[in-house]
Structure 1
Amino acid sequence: MFKKKLLTATLTPLAMIALSANAAVVIQPTDVDASSQFSPSFDSSHVIDGSGLGADSSDVETGDPVPTTWPTNINDSNTRSASWVSRDENNGWIMFDLGQSYELDGMHIWNYNSLESRGIQDVNIKFATTLTGTFGSTDETDTGWGTTTAETFTQASKLNTYTGETYSLGSTVTAQYVLFDIQTNYGDSLVGLDEVRFTGTAVPEPSSFALLASCFGLTWIMVRRR
């Protein structure tokens, strides 16, 4: 009986660690780059900094549980410093650095809301764990890009109640870098985007597996000795 209690008491926290590692969370990119920008007021950094979201934007930071209701978008009247807008192109690209590798299962997109015809429509989404070039100085031609999936983003509503759209990847993709290779928008001469978050689980470091295994092994030895 003592052996059983000891084993259970030790395995329970280990099981909780394993389960928590598999729980999908919000992933807020740590860096972003784009093919162009209309002006500094429409820099691509606005797509990841929460500037276009309502007061509950702090609920969608990295590590937060995936919400059932996502924050509203406040950008409904040409508000500057809250969106990315391209310059002299209605396609182009925007890429994200997630800070580390994740098993991605989806993303949440707040399309361009103040002028809905400027929003992204058809897009090829590319993923990479490493890039051949340096982030910030490479582009959609980087040979590091691997898995590609095509998606159509829903047009924004132009309302301040707009909460964006969730898109599933169908199956998980391991990546640290994600690129939106924009094919078409909804008709404007420029293309824009308000905010982006991804969802998934962190790829455990090898040391985490080693620690888990060593803890289990030590516990088993202790149980056997008793």
Structure 2
Amino acid sequence: MRKIVWLFTYLIASSVNAGVISISNVTASSTWSTYNVDNLINGSGLIGSLHSGEYTGKWMTNNTVTGSLLFDFGSVFDLTSSSIWNYGNGCCGIDRSVKDLSAEYSIDGITFFAIGDFILNQPVGDPFASETIALNASAQYIRFNLNSNYGSAYTGLSEVQFNGTAAAVPEPTSFVLLALGIAGLGFSRKKKIS
């Protein structure tokens, strides 16, 4: 019974604590040869909450204005927002920064649903801060469609983080009923043995 109460308490506490979600994998529609798409999720350019602006901690498309990024969390999360560090200065100028971005979500990675369209600003100077967009979706996958930039033949971002909680567990009343049922089975067996 003590283990059931502990499990119940742990599950409720873990579903309440919101924070930055670990991203299992990210893929891009294309990547310029010296860049790495994993730079979007590995924190390589971050100094606290700012991005250094160094190109070695960024990602960029392979000579295309548009592109897409697919983020996989490994399981379903209740997402609240995303923090996005645009391309910014660093190598070759701020015109590579994403201007128009649309976001979609999916549970299975096959069927996607629209979240919304967002306009991102060009960062000024280095280091630079992130922008936050609202997501409000339960998903294992988020896809960013990069629809335009600020004038370059390449488009890029520096870092992306997602905020939220693990997907909701069954309601607390379900756990209480389960615990009572298991306790009842234990008492009924003791009674039959006596």
Q: TM-score, normalised by structure 2?
A: 0.80
| Structure 2 counterpart of 1:179 | 143
Equivalenced residues, count: 180
Give the AA of the match of 1:195: E
1:21 and 1:204 mapped to 2: Cα distance? 6
Q: Say which one has the larger Rg.
A: 2
| Structure 2 counterpart of 1:166 | 132
| Structure 1 counterpart of 2:60 | 85
1:33 and 1:209 mapped to 2: Cα distance? 40
1:18 and 1:89 mapped to 2: Cα distance? 45
- TM-superposed CA distance for 1:156, in Å, is 1.6
Q: Does 1:25 align with 2:3?
A: no
Give the AA of the match of 1:152: I
Contact kept, 8 Å, 2:59 with 2:156, in 1: the verdict is: yes
2:183 and 2:125 mapped to 1: Cα distance? 58
| Structure 2 counterpart of 1:47 | 40
| Structure 1 counterpart of 2:115 | 148
Contact kept, 8 Å, 1:112 with 1:193, in 2: the verdict is: yes
- TM-superposed CA distance for 1:219, in Å, is 7.3
Structure 1 SS opposite 2:83: strand
Contact kept, 8 Å, 2:123 with 2:129, in 1: the verdict is: no
The answer to which structure has the higher strand fraction is: 2
**What are structure 2's unaligned runs of at least 5 residues?**
187-194
Judging changes above 3 Å, is the alpha-carbon distance between structure 1 residues 13 and 45 closer, same or farther for their aligned structure 2 residues? closer
1:209 and 1:146 mapped to 2: Cα distance? 31
**What are structure 1's unaligned runs of at least 5 residues?**
1-9, 57-70, 133-143
Structure 2 SS opposite 1:195: strand
Give the AA of the match of 1:24: A
Q: Does 1:111 align with 2:61?
A: no
- TM-superposed CA distance for 1:28, in Å, is 2.8
Q: CA RMSD in A?
A: 2.9
- TM-superposed CA distance for 1:205, in Å, is 5.2
- TM-superposed CA distance for 1:215, in Å, is 3.1
2:85 and 2:113 mapped to 1: Cα distance? 25
Contact kept, 8 Å, 1:107 with 1:199, in 2: the verdict is: yes
Structure 2 SS opposite 1:45: helix
Contact kept, 8 Å, 1:119 with 1:192, in 2: the verdict is: yes
Q: TM-score, normalised by structure 1?
A: 0.69
Contact kept, 8 Å, 1:24 with 1:199, in 2: the verdict is: yes
Q: Does 1:192 align with 2:156?
A: yes
